[in-house]
Amino acid sequence: MIDIKLIQENPEIFKKAVRDKNIGMVDIDDLLETYEELIAAKRLLQEIATSKNRIGKEIPNLTGAKKDFALEQLRFAKQQEADSEERIKNNQPFYDDAMLRVPQPADDDVPVGKDDTENVELRKEGQVRQFDFEPKDHIQLGQSLGLIDVERGVKLAGSRNYFLKGDGALLHWAVLRFAMDFMVERGYQPMSVPLLMKDEAMRGTGYYPGSEEQTYQMERDELSLAGTAEVPLTAYHMGEILKQEELPKKYVAMSSCFRREAGAAGKDTYGLYRIHQFDKVEQVIVCENSIEQSNKFHEEILANAEGVMQALGLPYRVVIVCTGDLGRGQAKKYDIEAWMPSRENYCETHSASKFYEFQARRMNLRYKDTTAKKNIFCHTLNNTVIASPRILIPLLELYQNGDGSVTIPEVLRPYMSGKEKITAE
């Protein structure tokens, strides 16, 4: 959420943010007009309350025409009060909803673009493998080696579902466990998190309103399945006032994630790229309200994810996400895209996002600033450390051998009982 004072002071900046991020259902002029009406109505209510109190004290001491006049003033004040309360009742819901929809302006160095096709490459890392044999894709490898069963996954759970079996399941868990150990060694506190979230946590992290169609909602219990551990990790301190010396808070969690993929009918239907349920290791930082600190930690969480990719020996590229591909609350985002032979392209595997105080303001997450002697909203950031089974696509395809086996990356072998290769039984 944005401070209304900033919108009042710089309405054109936020109108531009609405255009650049392609976010509909937000009219900054209507928002500001409604805000002024609300403020006027609430100010009048205070004046009426003062007037009613004064008149009420005077009436017992009045008689005749003066008393009749005072009673008439009191009736008029009550009518004004009812009118003002009605104006507030009519305008407050629109204002509250509009404020939740106002986007955070992107940083000045974020490229303006309409969608992910206009993201800008920053650099490539690693060498793309050139095969001297006809390579298989991850589904062909998974079936021939007994690692993946999509057919039964679809039979039991519908489209975009799957089973991982044997060494496929072990490789999946090995990647996740390696990523967790990697982050814990870097000083991040490991967390096991709940997956069912109240709406206030979804709103606080910026997923509601806007992502309801992508979310599995448990209407009977008024809960939603989280699409990422970002939600419980970021909302962990919701409504709290932290001590400045506690910051930064650095958390990492491994969790299952659930996404409806609404609107993705017919898109990426083959294989494990776009699925309804997956597991992810997520990193979250809560820090002081400082642009310099946010920028520093943004680079840190990106470096953490790159460190995992480099340890796995996977070629990738880093892109800066354009405005049209940014979420409502993101000021800047980096994506890491791994090379996937079967897709003949670099494809997204990680997203590192910087929010400034957007999420913290929605969650009322603050810290007591020892210098300013007041409570200040925190800054928040998050990034994928690794997500599987999507990462199994490049792992299986790039580490395959001409005889149909798959070499296990060295860093994952300790998590697979020292096994070096996956071979057909």
| Active-site position among 351, 357, 361, 366 | 351
- Report the C-alpha gap between 129 and 407 in whole angstroms: 14
What's the maximum distance between 2 C-alpha atoms anywhere in the chain? 108
| Element at 169 (helix H, strand E) | helix 167-185
Residues in Cβ contact with 19 at an 8 Å cutoff, skipping those fewer than 6 apart: none
- Per-residue burial over 376-389, b = 16 or more CB atoms within 10 Å of its CB, e = otherwise: bbbbbbbbbbbbbb
Radius of gyration of the chain (CA): 27
Backbone angles phi, psi at 54, to 5 degrees: -65, -45
CB 359 within 8 A of CB 382: no
User: Looking at 203, 259, 343, 366, which residue is catalytic?
Assistant: 259
Q: Are the CB atoms for 288 and 379 separated by under 8 Å?
A: yes
Residue 207 DSSP class: -
The residue from 230, 282, 337, 348 that is catalytic is 348
Alpha carbon separation from 199 to 28, 101, 160, 219, 259 (Å, rounded):
25, 15, 26, 11, 16
Enumerate the β-bridge partners of residue 129.
none
> Is 58 annotated in the active site?
no
Q: What angle do CA 407, 318, 389 make, to 5 degrees?
A: 40
Amino acid letter, 288 = E
User: Is residue 351 annotated as part of the catalytic site, yes or no?
Assistant: yes
**Six-digit token string for 424:** 């057909």
Respond yes or no: is residue 274 known to be catalytic: yes
CB contact set of 170 (below 8 Å; sequence gap of 6+): 415, 416
84 part of the active site: no
Q: Is 413 a catalytic residue?
A: no
- Out of 87, 129, 274, 413, the active site residue is 274
How far apart CA 259 and CA 423 sit, in angstroms, is: 32
The tokens for 47 are 């004046």
Burial of 121 (0-12, 13-18, 19+ CB in 10 A): exposed
C-alpha 103: how far from chain center? 13
Q: What residues are labeled active site?
A: 259, 274, 348, 351, 390
